[in-house]
Amino acid sequence: MRTNCGTFVIRLAVKTAPNTAASFVSLVRSHFYDGTVFHRIVPDFIIQGGDPTASGTGGPGYTVVDRPRAGTQYLFGTVAMAKTQAEPAGMSGSQFFVVTGADAGLPPDYAVLGDVVAGADVVRRIGRLGDSSTEQPTALVEIERAVVSVR
Protein backbone atom coordinates (compact mmCIF):
# COMPACT_ATOMS: atom_id res chain seq x y z
CA MET A 1 0.00 0.00 0.00
CA ARG A 2 1.65 3.18 -1.19
CA THR A 3 0.08 6.16 0.56
CA ASN A 4 0.88 9.86 0.58
CA CYS A 5 2.35 9.18 4.07
CA GLY A 6 4.61 6.33 2.94
CA THR A 7 4.35 2.65 2.09
CA PHE A 8 3.40 -0.36 4.18
CA VAL A 9 3.36 -4.03 3.20
CA ILE A 10 0.71 -6.59 4.15
CA ARG A 11 1.35 -10.35 4.15
CA LEU A 12 -2.01 -11.87 3.24
CA ALA A 13 -3.52 -14.70 5.28
CA VAL A 14 -4.22 -16.87 2.25
CA LYS A 15 -4.47 -20.12 4.25
CA THR A 16 -6.78 -18.92 7.03
CA ALA A 17 -8.84 -16.45 4.97
CA PRO A 18 -8.72 -17.66 1.35
CA ASN A 19 -11.94 -15.95 0.21
CA THR A 20 -10.99 -12.65 1.80
CA ALA A 21 -7.45 -12.75 0.41
CA ALA A 22 -8.66 -13.67 -3.10
CA SER A 23 -11.23 -10.87 -3.07
CA PHE A 24 -8.64 -8.35 -1.88
CA VAL A 25 -6.16 -9.43 -4.57
CA SER A 26 -8.85 -9.12 -7.24
CA LEU A 27 -9.76 -5.63 -6.03
CA VAL A 28 -6.10 -4.56 -5.94
CA ARG A 29 -5.47 -5.88 -9.45
CA SER A 30 -8.50 -3.93 -10.75
CA HIS A 31 -7.08 -0.74 -9.11
CA PHE A 32 -10.15 -0.51 -6.85
CA TYR A 33 -8.15 0.92 -3.92
CA ASP A 34 -6.08 3.42 -5.92
CA GLY A 35 -7.09 6.96 -4.99
CA THR A 36 -9.22 5.92 -2.01
CA VAL A 37 -8.64 7.41 1.44
CA PHE A 38 -8.46 6.33 5.03
CA HIS A 39 -11.86 7.70 6.00
CA ARG A 40 -11.75 6.61 9.65
CA ILE A 41 -8.70 7.15 11.85
CA VAL A 42 -8.92 6.50 15.58
CA PRO A 43 -5.58 7.10 17.32
CA ASP A 44 -4.24 4.08 19.23
CA PHE A 45 -7.01 1.90 17.78
CA ILE A 46 -7.35 1.58 13.98
CA ILE A 47 -7.04 3.20 10.57
CA GLN A 48 -9.81 2.23 8.13
CA GLY A 49 -9.93 2.51 4.35
CA GLY A 50 -11.13 0.73 1.24
CA ASP A 51 -14.39 2.62 0.77
CA PRO A 52 -14.67 4.13 -2.72
CA THR A 53 -17.22 6.67 -1.41
CA ALA A 54 -15.11 7.70 1.65
CA SER A 55 -18.36 7.67 3.63
CA GLY A 56 -17.92 4.41 5.52
CA THR A 57 -20.81 2.80 3.65
CA GLY A 58 -19.30 1.95 0.25
CA GLY A 59 -18.01 -1.32 -1.08
CA PRO A 60 -17.44 -3.41 -4.18
CA GLY A 61 -21.05 -4.58 -4.57
CA TYR A 62 -20.46 -8.08 -3.19
CA THR A 63 -19.33 -9.77 0.01
CA VAL A 64 -17.28 -12.83 0.94
CA VAL A 65 -17.01 -14.72 4.22
CA ASP A 66 -14.04 -16.15 6.11
CA ARG A 67 -15.07 -16.66 9.71
CA PRO A 68 -12.11 -15.94 12.01
CA ARG A 69 -10.91 -18.57 14.44
CA ALA A 70 -12.21 -18.46 18.00
CA GLY A 71 -9.80 -16.49 20.15
CA THR A 72 -8.55 -14.34 17.27
CA GLN A 73 -6.87 -11.21 18.59
CA TYR A 74 -6.46 -7.95 16.72
CA LEU A 75 -3.00 -6.75 17.76
CA PHE A 76 -0.82 -3.98 16.35
CA GLY A 77 -0.34 -4.49 12.61
CA THR A 78 -3.26 -6.90 12.16
CA VAL A 79 -5.18 -6.11 8.99
CA ALA A 80 -8.82 -7.17 9.09
CA MET A 81 -11.96 -6.51 7.13
CA ALA A 82 -14.52 -4.03 8.41
CA LYS A 83 -18.20 -4.93 8.70
CA THR A 84 -21.29 -3.67 10.46
CA GLN A 85 -22.43 -5.23 13.72
CA ALA A 86 -25.53 -6.55 11.94
CA GLU A 87 -23.45 -8.56 9.44
CA PRO A 88 -22.33 -12.08 10.36
CA ALA A 89 -18.83 -12.78 11.63
CA GLY A 90 -16.22 -12.91 8.89
CA MET A 91 -18.29 -11.09 6.26
CA SER A 92 -16.41 -8.50 4.22
CA GLY A 93 -16.52 -6.31 1.15
CA SER A 94 -13.65 -3.93 0.42
CA GLN A 95 -13.24 -1.94 3.63
CA PHE A 96 -10.33 -2.95 5.81
CA PHE A 97 -8.70 -1.71 8.97
CA VAL A 98 -5.18 -1.83 10.36
CA VAL A 99 -4.78 -2.02 14.13
CA THR A 100 -2.59 0.84 15.39
CA GLY A 101 -2.94 0.21 19.13
CA ALA A 102 -1.32 -2.63 21.07
CA ASP A 103 -4.61 -4.56 21.15
CA ALA A 104 -7.88 -3.38 19.60
CA GLY A 105 -9.84 -5.51 22.07
CA LEU A 106 -12.33 -6.58 19.42
CA PRO A 107 -14.29 -9.84 19.45
CA PRO A 108 -13.29 -12.45 16.82
CA ASP A 109 -15.88 -11.20 14.31
CA TYR A 110 -13.68 -9.64 11.64
CA ALA A 111 -12.03 -11.62 8.85
CA VAL A 112 -8.26 -11.32 9.19
CA LEU A 113 -6.73 -10.26 5.89
CA GLY A 114 -3.14 -10.44 7.11
CA ASP A 115 -0.43 -8.56 8.99
CA VAL A 116 1.74 -5.52 8.31
CA VAL A 117 5.25 -6.90 7.74
CA ALA A 118 6.99 -3.69 6.63
CA GLY A 119 6.21 -0.02 7.12
CA ALA A 120 4.99 -0.17 10.71
CA ASP A 121 6.29 3.39 11.12
CA VAL A 122 3.96 4.50 8.31
CA VAL A 123 0.99 2.80 9.98
CA ARG A 124 1.85 4.57 13.25
CA ARG A 125 2.18 7.92 11.44
CA ILE A 126 -1.21 7.53 9.77
CA GLY A 127 -2.70 6.43 13.09
CA ARG A 128 -1.76 9.78 14.64
CA LEU A 129 -3.71 11.70 11.96
CA GLY A 130 -7.13 11.20 13.49
CA ASP A 131 -9.44 12.78 16.05
CA SER A 132 -10.43 10.35 18.82
CA SER A 133 -13.74 12.05 19.50
CA THR A 134 -14.97 12.14 15.88
CA GLU A 135 -12.97 9.19 14.47
CA GLN A 136 -12.31 11.43 11.48
CA PRO A 137 -8.93 12.08 9.83
CA THR A 138 -7.24 15.38 10.64
CA ALA A 139 -5.35 15.20 7.34
CA LEU A 140 -5.99 13.55 3.98
CA VAL A 141 -4.41 10.09 3.82
CA GLU A 142 -4.75 8.61 0.35
CA ILE A 143 -3.88 5.17 -0.96
CA GLU A 144 -2.06 6.26 -4.08
CA ARG A 145 -1.46 2.75 -5.37
CA ALA A 146 -2.08 -0.77 -4.09
CA VAL A 147 0.03 -3.55 -5.60
CA VAL A 148 0.11 -7.33 -5.13
CA SER A 149 3.30 -9.29 -5.49
CA VAL A 150 3.70 -13.04 -5.21
CA ARG A 151 6.64 -14.43 -3.28
Task: For the chain, 151 residues long, give each residue's pLDDT as a single digit of tens.
Answer: 999 999 999 999 999 999 999 999 999 999 999 999 999 999 999 999 999 999 999 999 999 999 999 999 999 999 999 999 999 999 999 999 999 999 999 999 999 999 999 999 999 999 999 999 999 999 999 999 999 987 6
- Give kind and range of the element (H or E) at residue 28: helix 18-29
Percent helix, strand, coil in the chain, to 5, is 15, 30, 55
For β-strands 2-3 and 6-7, DSSP reports them as: antiparallel
Topology of domain 2-145, per CATH? Cyclophilin (2.40.100)
pTM over 0.95: yes
Q: CA-to-CA distance for 149 and 88, rounded, in angstroms?
A: 30
Q: By C-alpha distance, which of 1, 42, 35, 62 is closest to 12?
A: 1
Residue 21 sits at the vertex; the CA angle it makes with 15 and 22, to the nearest 5 degrees, is 110
**37-73 pLDDT tens trace:** 999 999 999 999 999 999 999 999 999 999 999 999 9
Edge-to-edge strands of the sheet including 143-145? 6-7, 2-3, 143-145
